[in-house]
Amino acid sequence: MIVVVGSINLDMITTVGRLPGPGETVRGTGFATAPGGKGANQALAAARAGAAVRMIGAVGKDSFAAEALALLRQGGVNLSGVREAQSATGTAAILVDEAGENMIALAPGANDSVLPGDLSRAAPKKGDVVLLQQEIPLATVQAALDAAAAAGAMTVLNTAPFFAETAGHLGKADFAVANETEFDLYCEALALAGDDRAARMRAYARKTGRAIVVTLGGDGVLAATPDEMLSVPALKIVPVDTVGAGDTFCGYFAAGLGAGLPLREALERAAAAASLACLKPGAQPAIPLATEVAAALK
């Protein structure tokens, strides 16, 4: 079982010719809404990878809630741990340019009400993988890491969005997953030594005794454990939209670990899935099925 404790949003996506600068207005070329939120995206990715998934989170008592949960329901994710909060369903305003790059502004809403007490509905056990991100209160993330460790479950912490205070509990996760910018910032917070990123990743693994995975966009993925360093390429594609690619990686990666795949194989499968997610617009609608990923890897 993959237990995802995290955010649930409704994404409002505007496509533009180029991303605006401060104080600038640019004309949009299209608009759509789609279910999103890092937690929900990763839960759906794990489900489409073939895993059994339980989601812990919150939505509002508003018209956005049903749409925010629609694809999770369709994907067979267990939503018994999702409750209704008094605040609005979380939203994300997303701008996507012609090259597929994006800017995102979040309004957390109900996600801020996901508190440590909600973890009683998570009930992780030995053999489960607990998947976390940082769009819910950090106290809840820390409590989930502790609860998973007590239960003997494996943990995967996606460090997005970046918070300097996360450095204090980053090493509690069996696998920390960061993009290159986030990892470089954590290197400063943790005072990691090394002449390049790979060396600093090795320093992290030695210091914590845990694994670090750094996603590099079109350049693939690096991973360091106390025992080895791995490099996995991304698929060669022309991206349409990079929204949700990192979440697709995390969901597929957690599902691979939960299925007992060797680390390299779990990384290869996740990297391929993330690449395929860039070929369609949106976050959840773009997450590929396991059959599509298997075909791409062949």
Token pair recorded at residue 166? 């996360």
User: CA–CA separation, 58 vs 81, rounded Å?
Assistant: 8
In Å, how far from its chain's centre is CA 271? 13
Element (H, E) at 154: strand 154-158
Q: What is the chain's length?
A: 298
Token pair recorded at residue 140? 């809840």
Q: How does 68-106 read in b/e, with b if 16+ C-beta sit within 10 Å? A: bbebbeebebbbebbeebebbbbbbebbbbeebebeeeb
Active-site residue identified among 11, 118, 174, 247: 247
DSSP one-letter string for 186-226:
HHHHHT---SSHHHHHHHHHHHHSSEEEEE-GGG-EEEE-S
Residue 118 contacts by C-beta under 8 Å, 6 or more apart in sequence?
A: 5, 56, 58, 81, 83, 140
Active site residue 247: yes
Q: Give the CA dihedral 148, 247, 11, 94, nearest 10 degrees.
A: 130
User: CA–CA separation, 290 vs 292, rounded Å?
Assistant: 5
Which of 283, 298, 297, 295 shows the shortest CA–CA distance to 45? 283
Give me the active site residues, please. 247
